[in-house]
Chains A and B, each alone.
Chain A
Amino acid sequence: MGYCPNTPEEIRDMLAVIGASSVDDLFAPIPKELRAKSFNLPAGVSEFELMALMREKARQGGTEIVPFIGGGIYDHIIPAAVDHLSGRAEFYTAYTPYQPECAQGTLQALYEYQSAICRLTGMEASNASLYDGGTALAEAALMALRITGRHAVVLDGSVNPLHREVVCGYLASLEAGVCQLPPAGCEVDLDGLMNSITEETAAVIVQHPNFFGSVADLTALAKKAHDQGALLIVSCYPIAMGLLKSPGEMGADIAVGEGQSLGNPLSFGGPYFGFIATRKRFIRNLPGRIVGETVDTQGRRGYVLTLQAREQHIKRHKATSNICSNQSLCALRGLIFVASLGKKGFADLAALNYDKAEYAKSVLGAVKGVSLVNAAPTFNEFTLRLPKPAAEVVARLLDAGVAAGVPVSGYYPGRDNELVVTVTEKRTKAEIDALAARLEEALWN
C-alpha cells in the first residue's frame, strides 16, 4: 500500500536481526497513554480511482474562464522544454545539494539561475530563490533593516496589496515601523515617498510596474533614498524587465519579485518562487541559500553552497533568515524559460505583452462610459474606470466565461468603479474584442 516493498519473510528476517519479536515491539518506547486516540481515515484506493477523483476536482477549476487578471500572477506561455527538463527525475527527486560532488547538476543550474536573475534585474548577486513574491519582499525589508541598522520602512501604497500584507506581518513581529503612503491615483507618489524618508528609514519599497500597471522612472527616488542613508527596494515583474528599465539601472539596492511568470504554471497559487538580488557589497546580508563557484582538488571548476555561515543551520537564531527549503525546482523552471526564449525572444515577448495591452486599452477605452485612469505609461496592465461598480461587472462577466480584471475596491475601499485589467501575450485579438463586447453588454444591457 504505502509503497513498502518488504515481504512478510523479509520483515521476519529483519526483526530477527534486530532481536524484536514484532514490529509493535519497536514502538514500545512510546508509553501506552500517549498513543493516538483516533486515526479515522478512509481505506486506501488505487491510483486509477485517485485520478478519477482528481479529474473531477480539476473540472471545477475555472480553467474555461478567459483570464484578464493578474494580481502578481500571470498567464504566460510555457515552452514544452521547461516541463520536460525540469521534470527530469534527477532534478525532481533530489534534495538540497549538501553533498556537492553528487549534486553538480542542481548546483550548476542554480548558479546559472542566479546569473539569470542578476541579468534580469541589473544586480550583482542573487540567492538561489525564496518562497514567493510576497515573502521575498518581506525578506528584502528585513535585509534593509540589518544593513542600515534602522527600524522602519516606507512602503508605497501601489505595491501589490497581497505583498504589502505579508511585509506588514513580518515587520510587525519585529516591531519595526511601516509608513504606508497612499498612491496618487494610479501612480507612485514619488514626491510623497521622498518626503517620507527620515533618519529611521531603512528602505523605501516600491513596485515596478505598480499594482495599477503604471510605470515610473525611479532613478531620482533611489538617489534621494541614498542621500538619506536609506536603501531602495524594487519589486519587479520579471516579464516586464524585457522592456522596462531594470531596478539596477535605476539605482535600486535590492530587487525582488514573484518569479511565477518565468515558466511556472498558475497551479492555483503555487508552487512559484520569489527572487532576490542585490549589490555585491550586501551579499552577506542576503537570506537563504547561495551557490558559489570554486574548484576541486584537481583544479576543475565546480559549484557549492556558499556563505552558509549566514544560515539557520549554523547561526540558528542569529541567521539572516529562517529559510531552509526554498523553491529550487521552480527557479530551475525560470532558468530554462529564459534560456528557451533567449536574449531576443525574451525582449520580443515583453514587447508583445506591451502591444497587446496597448491594443486592449484602445478597444476597452472606447467602450461607452469607460475611461483609462493611469496617467503614466503602462506595460501589460492598466486601470479602467467603469460607469458601474467593478465588482458587480466582474461577477457578471465571470458567469459569461471571462475574468475581466481585478476590482480595485477590494484593496482600496471607495474606489468602487475601477478595474485593473491584465493582457498577456496569450490573449488573442479575438478574446480582447470579445471582452470589449461583453463589457459593453454588462454595462448597458
Chain B
Amino acid sequence: MELIYEKSVAGRSGVRIPVSDVPKAAPLPEALRRTEAAGFPEVSELDLVRHYTNLSRRNFSVDTNFYPLGSCTMKYNAKVMEQAGALFADCHPMLALLPGGEKHVQGPLSLVHGLEQQLAEITGMDEVTTQPLAGAHGEMTGIMVIAAYHKARGEKRKYVIVPDSSHGTNPASAAMAGYEIITIPTAPYGDMDLDAYRAAMNNEVAAVMMTCPNTLGIFNPHIAEICEIAHQAGALAYYDGANLNAILGKVRPGDVGFDVIHVNLHKTFGTPHGGGGPGSGPVGVKKALIPYLPTPRVVKNTDGSFGVESHPEGIGRVSDFFGNFGIMVRAFGYIILLGGEGLIEVSEQAVLNANYMMAKLKGEYELPFDMTCMHECVFSASRQLKDGVHALDIAKYLIDRGFHPPTVYFPLNVKEAIMIEPTETESKATMDAFIEVMLEAAQLTRENPDALHQAPETMPVGRLDETRAARAQQVCCEG
C-alpha cells in the first residue's frame, strides 16, 4: 500500500482550522522563523479516512482474531470503558497543580485515589502510585524507590538479582536505576535455582526481582522462601506483576513477602494495547517504602476531599502528572464492574483455559515442563525441528489460518519456545478451533514441511527481510 505521503497532492487541503477572530499580528523576526513548512501530506479528508481504514484492515487484533500472545494477556477490552474514558477528555491536568485548583478536579483525583486503593487491596500492598506509564517504567520506579530506601538507611548496595527466565525489562530497568545485574539460572524443575540464588545473595544485593507465576507459566512454591532469603540479607523483594492475571484473588504478592510490586493495567485489567501502548504500570509498596514513592501523591483529606502533595524524601517525578489517566479510568472501571468475585473468576477461567490448551496440545508438541500450568503454557517445537520446521514456521502458518501466533522464542531458556496464553475471555469453541489448526500444523510438518516454510501466503505481504531492514536503516521516507 502507498504511504500517505505518496498520496499527497500539492495544494489539496484537509480539515479546516478555526477562523481567526483577532487581527493578524506582526510577523516574528525572520531568524526565528522556519524556512520551509513541515512536509505533511496534503490529502482530502476522504483520502485520509480511506487510507487509515484500509491500513487498519492489515492488522490482526483482539476484536478480529484470537490473539494468544503469551506473556501479553490479550484479553477482551470492554467497550463501556471507551465511553468512560471519553468523559474525561477535556480535564486539564495542570488544574490540579494550580493554587486552589484541587477543588475543581475532585472527580479525577478521587478516581486516582480509588484505583490506588483497589490495587493495594488486590496485591496486598500498603500504598500504590499510578505515576509509572508502563510496566517497564513501573519496574524502574520500583527499583528507584528501593534505592532510595537503602540510601536513607545509609547503605549503598550494588546488585539486583534476576532469574534468567525474567522479562528483559527487569535487568534493563535495574540497570537504568543504577544497579549491576546478577543472573540466576533456571533449575531443571522450571524455577529459579534456589541454591544458586542463596549463594548469590549477600548484603551488597539491593533486591531480587521475581515474576510469579514465571514466564513458563509455573507457580514457584518457594516464593515466600525467596523473599525471606532476601530479607535476611537486608535486601528487598520485587514482584513483576506481568502475570498477575493468573492469581487474582488467589495469592497477593504482599501477603507472600514482596516489598514492591508493579502491575500492568493493560494486561490484567483489560485495557487496550493500542498496537504497542499506551500501557500503565502502577507501583505498590509496603509501609516502610511509602516515603520514597514518586511525587505528586494524591491524598484523601480528613474532610473527605482529595488533594495533591509532594513528599520531600520521595524519588521525585517519574512522569509529568498522575500517570496514563485514560488507561487508569478503564482499569478502575474494570475492577468496579467485575467486583471481587468477578476478578476471582478471571484467574480461575484463565488458568482453566491454559490447562485445557496444554492438555490438548501436549500429544503433538513437546512440553518441557509437564505440570499444571497457571495462565499460560510453554511448548517447544523441538519435535517439529527434526523435520526442519521451526516455531516461527508454525507461527506463520497460524496467521494463514486466521489466528494471531503465540509468543515464540521466549522465554529464552526453552529452545524453539511457543508460549500460549489464551486468557479467560476466550470460549472453548475458539480454543478448539485454534487447537485443531495447531494439530494440523504438526501433521503437515510430517507430511509436507515446505508448506509451512512458505507461510504466510494470505497476507498483504509474505515473510519480510529483517536483515535488509537492519542494514538499510530506512526509518523515515524522504521529503
Known: A58-B87, A295-B465, A300-B462. A36 touches B221 (CB 8 A): no
Among A130-177, those with CB < 8 Å from B are 131-135, 142, 162-163, 165-166, 168-170, 173-175
The reply on B301 being an interface residue by CB < 8 A is: no
Within 8 Å of chain A (Cβ to Cβ): is B312? no
Whether A319 contacts B95 by the Cβ 8 Å rule is no
CB distance from A295 to the nearest CB of B (A): 6
**Inter-chain contact B59/A91, CB cutoff 8 Å:** yes
Report A317-344 residues with CB < 8 Å from chain B CB: 317-319, 321-330, 332, 336, 338-344
B4 touches A93 (CB 8 A): no
Contact across chains for B338 and A44 when beta carbons are under 8 A apart: yes
Q: Tell me if A188 is interfacial: C-beta within 8 Å of chain B.
A: no
Which of these binds chain A: B76-84, B382-390, B442-450? B76-84
The answer to whether A354 and B133 have CB atoms under 8 Å apart is: no
Q: Are the C-beta atoms of B177 and A75 separated by less than 8 Å?
A: no
How distant is the Cα of A330 from the Cα of B327 in the complex, in angstroms?
A: 12
For B45, the closest partner residue in chain A by CB is A81
- Tell me whether A266 and B351 are in contact (CB under 8 A): no
Contact of A26 among B33, B372, B460, B469 (CB under 8 A): B372
Bound CA span A72–B348, Å:
44
Q: How far is the CB of A4 from chain B (nearest CB, A)?
A: 4
User: Which residues of chain A are near B98, meaning CB under 8 Å?
Assistant: 69, 394-395, 398, 403, 406-407
| Inter-chain contacts of A128 with B (CB < 8 A) | 276
Interface residues as binary, B30-67 with A (CB distance below 8 Å gives 1, 0 otherwise): 01111101111111010011001101111111111101
Please name the residue on chain A nearest to B160 by beta carbon: A317
Q: B345 interface residue, CB < 8 Å from A?
A: yes
For the complex, is B437 an interface residue (Cβ under 8 Å from A)? no
Check if A322 sits within 8 Å of B139, measured CB to CB.
yes
- Interface hits, A256-296 → B, CB 8 Å: 258, 265-271, 273, 280, 283, 289-296
Partner of A14, one of B18, B323, B428: B428
A42 touches B276 (CB 8 A): no
- Provide the bound-state CA to CA distance between A96 and B405, in Å: 13
Could you tell me the distance in whole angstroms from the C-beta of A414 to the nearest C-beta in chain B? 16
A65 within 8 A of partner (CB): yes
A50 touches B352 (CB 8 A): no
Q: Which residues of B contact A43 (CB under 8 A)?
A: 339-341
Assuming the contacts A5-B427, A325-B135, asked whether A38 and B252 have C-beta atoms less than 8 A apart, the reply is yes
Taking CB atoms, residues of chain A closer than 8 Å to B24 are 355
Interface 0/1 of B307-323, CB less than 8 Å to A: 00000000111111111
Select the stretch in A105-113, A178-186, A222-230, A434-442 that faces chain B.
A105-113
A444 within 8 Å of B (CB atoms)? no
Collect the chain A residues with CB atoms within 8 Å of residue B97's CB.
71, 406, 410
Q: Are A132 and B56 in contact (CB under 8 A)?
A: no
Stretch at the interface among A189-197, A199-207, A306-314, A367-375: A306-314
Give chain A residues whose Cβ lies under 8 Å from the Cβ of B336. Answer: 42, 44-45, 50, 53
Given contacts A28-B372, A134-B320, A267-B89, contact A56 B32 (CB under 8 A): no
Residues of A within 8 A of B321 (CB): 73, 162, 268-270
Q: List residues of chain A with CB within 8 A of the CB of B378.
A: none
Note all chain B residues with C-beta closer than 8 A to A65: 92, 95, 104
A398-B327 Cα distance, complex, nearest whole Å: 27
Cα(A112)–Cα(B52), bound, Å: 11
Question: In whole angstroms, what is the CA distance A93 to B67 when docked?
Answer: 10
Residue B111 CB within 8 A of the other chain = yes
In the assembly, what is the distance between CA of A235 and CA of B98, in Å? 23
Q: Which residues of B contact A326 (CB under 8 A)?
A: 134, 276-278
Q: Choose from A133, A243, A428 the contact partner of B320 (Cβ within 8 Å).
A: A133
Chain A, 42-81, contact with B by CB distance < 8 Å: what is the 0/1 string?
A: 1111110011011111111111010101111101010101
Most chain B CB neighbours (cut-off 10 Å) among A28, A291, A313:
A313
Given contacts A34-B256, A65-B104, A266-B89, contact A118 B476 (CB under 8 A): yes
Q: Which chain A residues lie closer than 8 Å to B118 at the CB level? A: 41
A3 and B18 contacting across the interface, CB-CB below 8 Å: no
Contact B40 A270 (CB under 8 A): no
Contact of B110 among A26, A57, A63, A133 (CB under 8 A): A57
Partner of A330, one of B139, B181, B278: B278
Q: Which of B8, B17, B275, B344 contacts A345 (CB 8 A)?
A: B17
Option from B34, B178, B276, B371 in Cβ contact (under 8 Å) with A245: B34
- CB < 8 Å: which of A29, A342, A396 contacts B41? A342
Q: Give chain B nearest CB distance to A362 CB in angstroms.
A: 9
Q: Is the CB of B78 within 8 A of A322?
A: no
Q: Is the CB of B42 within 8 A of A343?
A: yes
A106 touches B275 (CB 8 A): yes
Given A50-B80, A271-B133, A340-B48, A106–B346 Cβ distance below 8 Å?
no
- Is A98's CB under 8 angstroms from B69's CB? yes
Decide yes or no whether B198 CB sits under 8 A from chain A.
no
A105 touching B55, Cβ below 8 Å = yes
| Docked-complex contact A105 and B319, CB < 8 angstroms | no
Q: Closest CB of chain B to A237's CB: distance in Å?
A: 13
In this complex, the member of A14, A19, A57 whose beta carbon has the largest number of chain B beta carbons within 10 angstroms is: A57
Which residue of chain B has the shortest Cβ distance to A354 in the bound complex?
B25
Given contacts A57-B110, A81-B48, A166-B320, contact A173 B177 (CB under 8 A): yes
Contact B59 A292 (CB under 8 A): no
The reply to whether A111 and B137 contact each other, CB–CB distance below 8 Å, is: no
Contacts of B399 in A (CB 8 A): 99, 101-102
| Distance of A280 Cα from B389 Cα, bound (Å) | 38
A102 to B456, CA, bound (A): 9
Task: Select which of A57, A90, A403 is within 8 A of B107 by beta carbon.
Answer: A57
Give residues 407-445 of A contacting B (CB, 8 Å).
407, 410, 425-426, 428-430, 432
**Is the beta-carbon distance between B251 and A296 smaller than 8 angstroms?**
no
A119 contacts B33, CB within 8 Å?
Answer: no
Q: For the complex, is A215 an interface residue (Cβ under 8 Å from B)?
A: yes
| B3–chain A nearest beta-carbon distance, Å | 6
* Given A17-B356, A92-B61, A395-B99, A297 contacting B463 (CB threshold 8 A): yes
CA distance A221 to B301 in the complex (A): 48
Known A-B contacts A268-B105, A403-B95; the reply to A93 vs B61 at CB < 8 A is yes
A14 cross-chain contacts in B, Cβ below 8 A = 352-353, 355-356, 428
Tell me, in angstroms, the Cα distance from A115 to B101 when the chains sit together.
Answer: 39
Is there contact, CB below 8 Å, between B351 and A325?
no
**Residue B158 is within 8 A (CB to CB) of chain A in the complex:** no
Across-interface contacts of B35 in A (CB, < 8 A):
245, 249
Measured CB to CB, the closest approach of chain A to B67, in angstroms, equals 7
Tell me whether B236 is interfacial, beta carbon within 8 Å: no
Are A50 and B84 within 8 A (Cβ)? Answer: yes
Distance, CA A196 to CA B217, complexed state (A): 53
Q: Verify if B262 is at the interface (C-beta below 8 Å from A).
A: no
Closest chain-A Cβ to B107's Cβ sits at a distance in Å of: 3
Q: Are B250 and A57 in contact (CB under 8 A)?
A: no
**Cβ B470 vs Cβ A94 within 8 A:** no
Judging by beta carbons under 8 Å apart, are A266 and B91 in contact?
A: yes
Contact across chains for A3 and B473 when beta carbons are under 8 A apart: no
Q: Which residue of A lies closest to B329 (CB)?
A: A54
Q: Which residues of the partner chain A approach B57 to less than 8 Å between Cβ atoms? A: 90, 105
List chain A residues, Cβ under 8 A from B351. Answer: 23, 26-27
Contact A242 B428 (CB under 8 A): no
- Residues in A neighbouring B76, C-beta threshold 8 A: 3
Docked-complex contact B275 and A328, CB < 8 angstroms:
yes
**Interface pair B37/A168, CB less than 8 Å apart:** no
Known contacts A104-B461, A169-B315, A429-B22, A324 near B135 by CB under 8 Å: yes
Q: List 9 A-B contacts (CB under 8 A).
A: A26-B355, A65-B104, A89-B64, A114-B476, A169-B294, A313-B168, A322-B139, A324-B167, A346-B38
Besides A4-B346, A34-B251, 11 new A-B residue pairs in contact (Cβ under 8 A), listed by A number: A4-B424, A30-B250, A41-B122, A73-B93, A91-B56, A99-B399, A102-B65, A241-B38, A270-B320, A304-B466, A395-B101
In the A-B complex, the 4 residue pairs with the closest CB atoms: A329-B274, A269-B321, A44-B339, A395-B100
